[in-house]
């Protein structure tokens, strides 16, 4: 069975066949020139412009800051309220914005909280990455 | 070549049963009359707008006359006005235009500013929401400095108090810290009265060389000393980026301000007042340090000192800022220029910054665009 992702380029190719709730690694472009990683993986380093290649980065990180979306936004298919966080991937030296599952309270995941990256089923059935404690 | 602002005009910011072209016409008519020129004298017209469609600049300028001269459109989200200033300034400085006209105009829908450069996956998955970015920035400010939510409320109180004095502002009611902290939560820690509201309005600016102003007998031109526009560098993070680097932090406002101070040959200590992008109240506090008014970490201290109030050492947003005026995206930056010129001419009435000689305007827009303009009386 093929899983349909909202944006499959965000998830490492070997993890795209997984099901909801399972841990997934993120897909990033690694730059051979400056050594930096960028997400989404576009094949071009976001920072120096050199051509790079896709790599998998860690499925776990640390919360830097969090907030909540309490009012529906035009175009969003997820239901409010929900929490979002900037999650820090220390080795990749990247912070990524994502939705946090399992809580409506940003204070429940203060800075330093470790979250895992998992596959989440969106209301329309497609999969997307999300963060969970 | 020295470039001056010879005339400014504005249509008040708010909600009106008028088209964008009608809003613009009011502002342009006022600006042309203020400069003592006609639309037939304008060599280049630059229109800043976000929300209108194809051929909008020509539609908007079409109400003013068919002169056959170039009319161009620029868009850089909430910094669109600065892009117009940059294009017009360069055209005058290079001699390609003797007289240039900038028009900023917008009829923005109510609510969150949607479509701020996000990819569709960001919008659909619920992370393409502009206030998230301001809220996370505010959370980091609260966590890393001694700033408190009360300080976030005090910025709103200050700007709304100034807005009461500005007939062009949409919200002309004072508010208290208690009212701000009791207003609806949008994205913690930001509440409704800590965020500006998109609205409608127009502003226009007539530019020419200093020589042309003398030739036309313009008595009190205002000198444009710097217009700088900065975009993302590694270390910056703003709408609509999905991610950022974790090990370096920089700001497009710092980049734009530093370039503007170099261009003007002036520094933060030379400023008499500032109009800055108070999209939310934490953004105003961050602008204090990014513009060099204080060190990072001292933003709340500067606010609490009263220095940034009207009557203080360096008033910030004497017009009421976007919090009181509202945010007509394409027009907001030229609205700031209108305030700068009004203050530098000593014509701001009850909200006059006494002895105002040097003013700075700062806008920031989606796409990591930050722009700084510095103007000097005489």
Q: Is residue A53 part of a domain?
A: yes
Å from A72 to nearest chain B CA? 9
Q: What is the pLDDT of residues B67-95, one digit of tens each?
A: 999 999 999 999 999 999 999 999 999 99
Confidence at residue A2, expressed as pLDDT on a 0 to 100 scale: 67
The answer to whether the Cβ–Cβ distance between A64 and B246 falls below 8 Å is yes
Å from A104 to nearest chain B CA? 12
The answer to whether the Cβ–Cβ distance between B119 and A7 falls below 8 Å is yes
Q: How many domains does chain A have?
A: 1
Rounded Cα gap, residues B329 and B38, in angstroms = 27
**Residues pairing with B71 in the sheet:** B45
Confidence at residue B267, expressed as pLDDT on a 0 to 100 scale: 98
* % pLDDT > 70, chain B: 100
- Find where tokens 């300080």 sit: B151
Q: What is the pLDDT of residues A56-106, one digit of tens each?
A: 998 899 999 999 999 999 999 999 999 999 999 999 999 999 999 999 999
Please give the C-alpha separations between residue B136 and each of A68, A86, A130, B167, B177, in angstroms, as whole numbers: 10, 8, 17, 33, 21
Identify whether the C-beta of residue A67 lies closer than 8 Å to the C-beta of residue A25.
Answer: no
Identify whether the C-beta of residue B64 lies closer than 8 Å to the C-beta of residue B39.
Answer: yes
Q: Which residues of A touch B185 (CB under 8 A)?
A: 70
Confidence at residue B51, expressed as pLDDT on a 0 to 100 scale: 95
Q: Is the pLDDT of residue A113 over 70?
A: yes
**A128 interface with B at CB cutoff 8 Å:** yes
With DSSP H G I counted as helix, E B as strand and the rest as coil, what are the percentages for chain A, rounded to 5?
Answer: 5, 40, 50
Confidence at residue B114, expressed as pLDDT on a 0 to 100 scale: 75
Q: Is residue A3 part of a domain?
A: no
Q: Please name the member of B140, B186, B244 whose beta carbon is closest to the beta carbon of A70.
A: B186
Topology alike, domains B3-110+200-223 and B120-195+224-377:
yes
Q: Is the pLDDT of residue B112 over 80?
A: no
Rounded Cα gap, residues B194 and B182, in angstroms = 11
**A111 interface with B at CB cutoff 8 Å:** yes
ipTM over 0.90: yes
Q: Please name the member of A36, A38, A70 whose beta carbon is closest to the beta carbon of B185.
A: A70
Which CATH class for the B3-110+200-223 domain?
alpha beta
pLDDT band of residue B1 (cuts 50, 70, 90) is: confident
For chain B positions 183-212, those within 8 Å of chain A (CB to CB) are: 185-190
> What residue spans define the domains of chain B?
3-110+200-223, 120-195+224-377
Identify whether the C-beta of residue B85 lies closer than 8 Å to the C-beta of residue B100.
Answer: no
CATH fold label, B120-195+224-377: Peroxisomal Thiolase; Chain A, domain 1 (3.40.47)
Q: What is the pLDDT of residues B4-50, one digit of tens each?
A: 999 999 999 999 999 999 999 999 999 999 999 999 999 999 999 99
Q: Give the other-Cβ count within 10 Å of B293's Cβ.
A: 23
Q: Is residue A27 part of a domain?
A: yes
Query: Cα B128–B133–B136 angle (5° rounding)?
Result: 130
Q: Is B276 a catalytic residue?
A: no
3 state SS of B104:
strand
Confidence at residue B220, expressed as pLDDT on a 0 to 100 scale: 80
Nearest-CA residue of chain B relative to A8?
B121
Rounded Cα gap, residues B265 and B257, in angstroms = 12
The answer to whether the Cβ–Cβ distance between B143 and A111 falls below 8 Å is yes
Between A29 and B116, the higher pLDDT residue: A29
Q: Is the pLDDT of residue B269 over 70?
A: yes
Q: Is residue A18 part of a domain?
A: yes
Confidence at residue B304, expressed as pLDDT on a 0 to 100 scale: 98
Å from A106 to nearest chain B CA? 8
pLDDT band of residue B179 (cuts 50, 70, 90) is: very high
The answer to whether the Cβ–Cβ distance between A68 and B187 falls below 8 Å is yes
Q: What is the pLDDT of residues B189-224, one digit of tens each?
A: 999 999 999 999 999 999 999 999 999 999 888 999
Q: Is the pLDDT of residue A1 over 70?
A: no
């Amino acid at each position: 069975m093929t899983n349909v992702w909202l944006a499959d380029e965000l998830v490492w190719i070997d993890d795209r066949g997984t099901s909801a709730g399972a841990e997934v690694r993120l897909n990033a472009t690694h730059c051979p020139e400056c050594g930096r990683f960028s997400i989404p993986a576009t094949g071009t380093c976001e920072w120096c412009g050199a051509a790079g290649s896709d790599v998998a980065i860690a499925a776990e990180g640390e919360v830097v800051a969090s907030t909540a979306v309490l009012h529906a936004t035009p175009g969003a298919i997820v239901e409010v309220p929900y929490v979002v966080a900037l999650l820090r991937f220390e080795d990749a030296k990247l912070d990524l914005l994502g939705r946090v599952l399992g809580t409506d309270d940003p204070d429940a995941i203060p800075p330093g909280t470790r979250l895992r990256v998992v596959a989440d089923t969106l209301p329309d059935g497609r999969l997307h990455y999300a963060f969970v404690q | 070549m020295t470039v001056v602002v010879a005339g400014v005009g504005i249509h008040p910011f708010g909600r009106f049963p008028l088209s964008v072209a009608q809003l613009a016409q009011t502002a342009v008519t006022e600006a042309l009359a203020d400069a003592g020129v006609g639309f037939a004298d304008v060599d280049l017209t630059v229109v800043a707008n976000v929300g209108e469609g194809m051929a909008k600049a020509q539609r908007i300028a079409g109400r003013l006359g068919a002169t056959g001269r170039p009319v161009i459109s620029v868009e850089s989200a909430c910094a669109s006005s600065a892009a117009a200033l940059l294009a017009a300034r360069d055209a005058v400085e290079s001699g390609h235009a003797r007289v240039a006209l900038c028009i900023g105009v917008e009829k923005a829908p109510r609510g969150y500013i949607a479509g701020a450069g996000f990819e569709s996956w960001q919008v659909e998955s619920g992370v393409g929401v502009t206030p998230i970015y301001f809220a996370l920035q505010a959370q980091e400010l609260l966590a890393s400095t001694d700033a408190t939510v009360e300080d976030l409320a005090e910025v709103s109180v200050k700007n709304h108090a100034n807005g009461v004095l500005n007939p062009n502002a949409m919200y002309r009611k004072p508010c208290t810290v208690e009212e701000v902290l009791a207003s609806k939560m949008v994205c913690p820690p930001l509440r409704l009265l800590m965020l500006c509201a998109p609205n409608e309005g127009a502003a226009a600016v007539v530019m020419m060389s200093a020589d042309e102003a003398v030739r036309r007998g313009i008595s009190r031109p205002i000198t444009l000393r710097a217009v700088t526009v900065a975009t993302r560098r590694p270390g910056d993070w703003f709408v609509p980026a999905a991610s950022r680097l974790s090990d370096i932090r920089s700001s497009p406002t710092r980049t734009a301000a530093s370039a503007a101070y170099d261009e003007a040959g002036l520094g933060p200590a030379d400023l008499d007042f500032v109009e800055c992008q108070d999209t939310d109240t934490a953004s105003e506090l961050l602008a204090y340090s990014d513009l060099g008014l204080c060190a990072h970490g001292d933003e709340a201290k500067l606010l609490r000192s009263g220095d940034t109030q009207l009557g203080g050492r360096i008033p910030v947003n004497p017009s009421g800022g976007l919090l009181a005026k509202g945010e007509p995206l394409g027009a907001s930056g030229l609205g700031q220029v209108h305030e700068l010129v009004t203050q530098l001419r000593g014509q701001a009435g009850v909200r006059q910054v006494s002895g105002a000689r040097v003013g700075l305007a700062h806008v920031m827009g989606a796409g990591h665009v930050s722009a700084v303009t510095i103007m000097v009386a005489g």
